[in-house]
Amino acid sequence: MAQLAGMERKDRIDGIGALYLVGFAVVLAFNQVVIKLGNGGFQPVFMAAMRSFFAMLVLLVWARARGIPLRSPRGTWGAGLLIGGLFSFEFVALFWALDHTSVARASILFYTMPVMLSLAAHFLLPGEQLTRMRGLGLVLAMCGVALVLADRQGGQASLMGDLAALGAAAGWGGIALAVRVTRAQDLVPEVQLLWQLLVSSVVLFAVAPLFGPFLRDPGLWHWAGVGYQVIAVASFGFLFWFFLMKRYPASGVASFSFLSPVVSVLLGWAVLGETFGMNVVVALVLVAIGIVLINRRPRMPG
């Protein structure tokens, strides 16, 4: 990661970048399976709280070892609390969703975040209006969401679980939007992440008792799953994403997000034995194409 941070800015995704992004998409996709399995040992919100707390400790130790100051100017505290609150909502919704619906369904719905963000940006951000191509992508992705919600036959599914996954996507999109329109944009990535982990640690531990007993017969594999979430996703994983966003065009990086739901559906079938109807397969294709179209930018003349 240190080597990546020192590399020059690229104007397109090169071979190394594509390899990084594909690998990271697989890491995120596998995380959905890990959460699903982890819910057998821990109550979902309590597990999310542990993840945030231990990831925050990892971030603090890593920043101290590298001499990175984690300071947030006083004028940015409100923005920090906002992105931390949205982060808390996102993962309450996602972890709870994966306790009530299948990995395939939750992943397809969760990765509609670029769709929600594009729709919000059309109204809130200058220069981010939807073009015909991006509008087509929006329509295709929304049709995919409708198909997922309409298919009540495939795999473990509940309407509330599906809606929670959509809520998690909205929380994720809210963070991306807040970073664009608030003082959070003045914070370095490590401090943005610290705010999210710090606030969510407090909030998630506070609300976890509302969701039932903390323990559900945890074993060694459940603890290993928490470790995977802490190291590979919530601390170094998120930092790696920030570094990729620094080096490569944001639209190019975002376009690779369509890989995660594809891999998640395959992993749900291969690891968990999930079944799903043709509606879910068609929905996956529609959402993936929609995300690619939404993240396309018109070519500049010349």
Percent of the chain scored above 70 by pLDDT?
Answer: 89
pLDDT of residue 153: 61
Q: Evaluate if residue 23 carries a pLDDT over 60.
A: yes
pLDDT value of position 8: 64
Helix ranges restricted to H, the chain: 2-6, 15-38, 44-66, 77-97, 103-110, 113-124, 132-150, 159-181, 189-207, 220-228, 236-247, 250-255, 259-272, 278-295
What is the per-residue pLDDT for 242?
78
Q: Which of 16-20, 45-49, 148-152 has the lowest mean pLDDT?
A: 148-152
Q: Which of 97-101, 108-112, 149-153 has the lowest mean pLDDT?
A: 149-153
pTM, 2 dp:
0.87
Cα 20 to chain center, whole Å? Answer: 17
Judge contact between 213 and 41, C-beta under 8 A: no
pLDDT (0 to 100) of residue 7? 54
Residue 13 vs residue 93, higher pLDDT: 93
Model confidence at 300: pLDDT above 50: no
pLDDT at 40: 94
